[in-house]
A and B are shown apart, each in its own frame.
Chain A
């Protein structure tokens, strides 16, 4: 059913159609509209046999989801940014226990300095938590990926995070094809847990494990990610059969990556999330002018689709990974994963860190990155649109006086006095 609808509302309605039994929520921008909508939907009785629990923290949100999932209930929650960090301990617990919880992460920066706008620092910080991570490029794929998420989670018994750019997607009104209940029921059978707290068949879950088996349990977490990697393309095809469209967008190759105009490309950008939309526009313009450029979108960041990335980029001379997060002290996060996919392949890989804390990644910025890649003037690590003057003034202050004051406030004052 086509609707002109806010991304958050679309996600909420899709989640509702997946018939969760327990939804727990703690508010944080830009996730709020999703859980607000779900409360309304549950109260209207539109999800049968569903409990909505307002918890007192994200730590408890994930913990409630753990208890519910271990009791055999399909469990859902949503968070972002500081909230994701606040639930890190139960996050690892959920994946370690193999509980197929689905969670939306409305991607937002992490403070300090506190910042409510979009980047990927939150989800990227949890890339090794054992959760599967899917990144939506637009709100249609945000909606679709939630259905995929429940399906994948329950098939391999691992939790899945659906990452969608905060505000850029969560608060954007778009035309979205929302799924019919019947189709969702066909795609997503009811949840059959591998483990359940049941008085008729009592078992202990969450026991202490020593060196004799810990490595094996951890290894199984890896195996399940690899199983997901095998399963996702098939599930994506099944999705297309039922819903008549590709789950991760029209350029979805296999549910793992999307490719756009990479044929014969000399420069290929690699990105996750909504920035891919802007990139496509720039790529069209530049292709028109004869520049051979394309983009590889990564939908499944965990498991990381090494083969799909290698297949897409193996013959490309120049790859630029555009990242909305980075690892201080070394640089790119996504790019180091891309490098693993392309090891032993002679290719130049640059990292462009862009769009932190909501800074817009404009068409000009993207065009600039591409042009410098063509000119061989793009350094291995670059921060796009960095205000160098602002930084130099602060560094100068550091040299000049010991008590130079709080950094962020200094920068803002300098900006204000420009």
Chain B
């Protein structure tokens, strides 16, 4: 028997399911949600980053009773949210530079401590470029000092704001405007990669987690958990970008799900440098299913495709599955057949 779902709208335009117990409602469905990143911003349709930021910051607002300051790195999120006077932010928000969000947040946290206002908490946020590349030094310094900052990286796997160029987080074979799909090894090269969650864990900071916009409850829960902890915390959120990935705007969440279900983006939590929880893959898929809907991987398919590169990407996924134990062993084998 199926239940007819009834939705309601609240003053902040949140939509909720009446049948769910109030306590189980996600933050976005509550009438009390902060709506920190409000409507009217200029993100592309289907922007994963806008969605991720909205859920993450509202969850942090809920966890801190609205006593939150956000520091933002330069990038899409900063640009689409604030061509003044049309700021979308409804919390104290500071943008300084592309590479210094973590250090600016350290400064905010230090000032709050000096002022005896440690009830006010600090979130820093940036894109993958602002995090794994240009802002890496300040971020590592913030981790090492264990400053009381939650740093959130919205990873769309390239420099999107400047028009889709390769970053240190761009996956192998992906086409960007600085890794054209030309020649015998089209797209981004198969490098060692730069796994920021693992690097964050190597600092031994109290909390590191990954999440995607496919599981927004999980994202909210991780932000809320992070806010119960003092010290440096790092959250790495996969946020598909229709413009940069060449994907359909209605497929943002689906792609985020496929990224985890294929094993390419492991979702886990780590405390004090050790993995403490892993999100198991429910329905294992081959990487092809994830890659195919994205134009940035179009050159891998078709008559002039690159099965060798596809295999190499599948091998990365398989390694992740083994390393993070993403599958129940029996299921994994069954699905592979």
Q: Give A contacts to B, CB under 8 Å.
A: 21-22, 24, 49-51, 53-57, 59-60, 63-73, 75, 89-90, 93, 97, 197-199, 201-210
Contacts and interface: CB of A to CB of B under 8 A. Distances in A.
Given A199-B68, A199-B92, A204-B82, A59 B100 contact: yes
Given A97-B96, A199-B67, A199-B69, A60 B115 contact: no
A60 B100 contact: yes
17 contacts: A49-B115, A63-B103, A63-B104, A66-B104, A67-B94, A67-B105, A67-B107, A68-B107, A70-B108, A71-B69, A71-B107, A90-B100, A198-B92, A199-B68, A205-B94, A208-B79, A208-B84
Interface string B93-107: 111110110111111
B322 interface: no
Contacts of A210: 83
Interface in B99-144: 99-100, 102-116, 120, 137-138, 140-141, 144
A72 B117 CA distance: 12
Contact of B89 (A56, A70, A75, A202): A202
A204 B100 contact: no
B227 to A, nearest CB: 14
B94 A206 contact: yes
A68 B140 CA distance: 19
A70 B113 CA distance: 14
A301 to B, nearest CB: 26
A169 to B, nearest CB: 28
Given A67-B96, A67-B107, A209-B84, A22 B114 contact: yes
A232 B102 CA distance: 35
B80 to A, nearest CB: 10
A51 B79 contact: no
A61 B152 CA distance: 21
Interface of B: 66-69, 71-72, 78-79, 82-84, 87, 89-97, 99-100, 102-116, 120, 137-138, 140-141, 144-145
Nearest to A22: B110
Contacts of A21: 111, 114-115
A67 B67 CA distance: 17
Given A21-B115, A57-B137, A206 B105 contact: no
A93 to B, nearest CB: 5
Contacts of B95: 204-207
List the 5 closest pairs (A to B, CB-CB), nearest first.
A67-B107, A56-B141, A63-B103, A73-B111, A206-B95
A245 B69 CA distance: 43
A69 to B, nearest CB: 8
A209 B145 CA distance: 34
Nearest to A71: B111
Given A57-B137, A208-B82, A63 B96 contact: yes
A67 B106 contact: yes
Contacts of A201: 92
Contacts of A53: 106-107, 110, 145
A60 B114 contact: no
Contact of B113 (A51, A54, A204, A208): A51
Contact of B107 (A65, A205, A207, A208): A65
A202 B84 contact: no
Contacts of A66: 96, 100, 104, 107
Contacts of A206: 72, 94-96
A90 B74 CA distance: 13
B103 to A, nearest CB: 4
- Most central of B72, B91, B112 by chain A CB within 10 Å: B112
A24 B107 contact: yes
A325 to B, nearest CB: 27
Contacts of A198: 92
Given A199-B67, A199-B120, 19 more contacts: A56-B141, A59-B99, A59-B100, A60-B141, A66-B104, A66-B107, A70-B107, A70-B108, A71-B108, A89-B100, A197-B94, A199-B69, A203-B93, A206-B94, A206-B95, A207-B95, A208-B78, A208-B84, A210-B83
- Most central of A22, A53, A207, A210 by chain B CB within 10 Å: A207
A61 to B, nearest CB: 8
B138 A59 contact: yes
A129 B111 CA distance: 25
A90 B104 CA distance: 10
Given A57-B141, A202-B90, A64 B83 contact: no
B110 A63 contact: no
Contacts of A59: 99-100, 103, 137-138
Contacts of A93: 96-97
A63 B82 contact: no
B89 A204 contact: yes
B144 A56 contact: yes
Contacts of A54: 145
- Most central of B92, B102, B103 by chain A CB within 10 Å: B103
A202 B92 contact: yes
Contacts of B79: 208
Nearest to A23: B110
A177 B104 CA distance: 36
B66 A89 contact: no
Contacts of B87: 204, 207
B83 A203 contact: no
B98 to A, nearest CB: 8
A199 B145 contact: no
A129 to B, nearest CB: 14
Contacts of B84: 204, 207-209
A75 B89 CA distance: 26
B114 A67 contact: no
Contact of A50 (B90, B100, B114, B141): B114
A341 to B, nearest CB: 35
A209 B99 CA distance: 19
Nearest to B116: A49
A123 B237 CA distance: 41
Nearest to A67: B107
A51 B100 CA distance: 19
A410 to B, nearest CB: 35
- Most central of A50, A53, A54, A75 by chain B CB within 10 Å: A53
- Most central of A49, A75, A198, A202 by chain B CB within 10 Å: A202
B67 A63 contact: no
